[in-house]
Amino acid sequence: EDQVTQSPEALRLQEGESSSLNCSYTVSGLRGLFWYRQDPGKGPEFLFTLYSAGEEKEKERLKATLTKKESFLHITAPKPEDSATYLCALSTGNQFYFGTGTSLTVIP
Amino acid sequence: GAGVSQSPSNKVTEKGKDVELRCDPISGHTALYWYRQSLGQGLEFLIYFQGNSAPDKSGLPSDRFSAERTGGSVSTLTIQRTQQEDSAVYLCASSQTRTNIQYFGAGTRLSVL
């Protein structure tokens, strides 16, 4: 059965304390892995797409990586404005699967 | 360019009434999706449109829920005889194809009293 699992469910970091969020998956025929950021009361905002193992994408303090079984979203020296829920999603071509997200809180 | 637009942004209704939620996707996007998100929960897939047809309706929770899309553009999600458990944020997304990036609207917050 195709599955997407995100961990941890919630993460509290001090400002400047780097960490990683995990998205592990068991799907057949991965066509793309997507990371989104969702702020309270808003729709998810697209961050990155990764298509093949070994691929990396960066944007400001965020870096996404992909292996054959999981993806990491690395957050370097986070700031309070990085507080949000981060969602991982997968496309197999026929289906689109969302994880339940990691709620990140960055404390000043 | 305009993003995905949803209306209304908030809807308060009484139990038993029907509601219509509207989604205006990004121009040229053939794929359109509806999701439901309850407070503190993940995204629950409802229905997927390719053009005006809905090849995947597997997520609609009951026959009180229906959706249509006209002209390959605007979509309407209708909930008949609303129940309190229907209270949630309803999100719409569109993409160029089913495998591409989905872009989301801000959602409609539905409250059933």
Q: What is the pLDDT of residue A77?
A: 97
Q: Is A29 on the interface with B (CB under 8 A)?
A: no
Q: What is the pLDDT of residue B1?
A: 54
Q: What is the pLDDT of residue A79?
A: 97
Q: What is the pLDDT of residue A2?
A: 65
Contact residues on chain B for A27, CB-CB shorter than 8 A: none
CATH superfamily, domain A3-101, is Immunoglobulins (2.60.40.10)
Nearest CA in chain B to A87: B42
Give residue A17's pLDDT band: very low, low, confident or very high (50, 70, 90). Answer: very high
Q: How many Cα atoms within 13 Å fall on the side-chain side of residue A8?
A: 8
Contact residues on chain A for B91, CB-CB shorter than 8 A: 43-44
pLDDT tens digits, residue range A27-74? 888 889 999 999 988 999 999 999 999 999 999 999 999 999 999 999
Using CA atoms, how far residue B55 sits from B77, B80, B94, in Å, is 16, 22, 15
Residue spans of the domains in chain A: they are: 3-101
- Three-class DSSP category at B81: coil
Task: Provide block-wise average pLDDT over 10 residues at a time, chain B (113 residues).
Answer: 90 98 95 91 89 88 95 95 97 88 95 96
Residue spans of the domains in chain B: they are: 5-112
Which amino acid, one-letter code, is at A2?
A: D
List the CATH code of the domain at B5-112: 2.60.40.10
Q: What is the pLDDT of residue B19?
A: 98
Q: Is A51 on the interface with B (CB under 8 A)?
A: no
Question: Distance (Å) from the C-alpha of residue B32 to the closest C-alpha of chain A?
Answer: 12
- In whole angstroms, give the CA distance from residue B72 to residue B57: 17
pLDDT of A11 higher than 60: yes
pLDDT tens digits, residue range A71-90? 999 999 999 999 999 999 99
Q: Do A98 and B42 touch (CB under 8 A)?
A: yes
Q: Which of A2, A4, A49, A96 to mutate to test the interface with B (most CBs of B within 10 A)?
A: A96
Length of chain A: 108
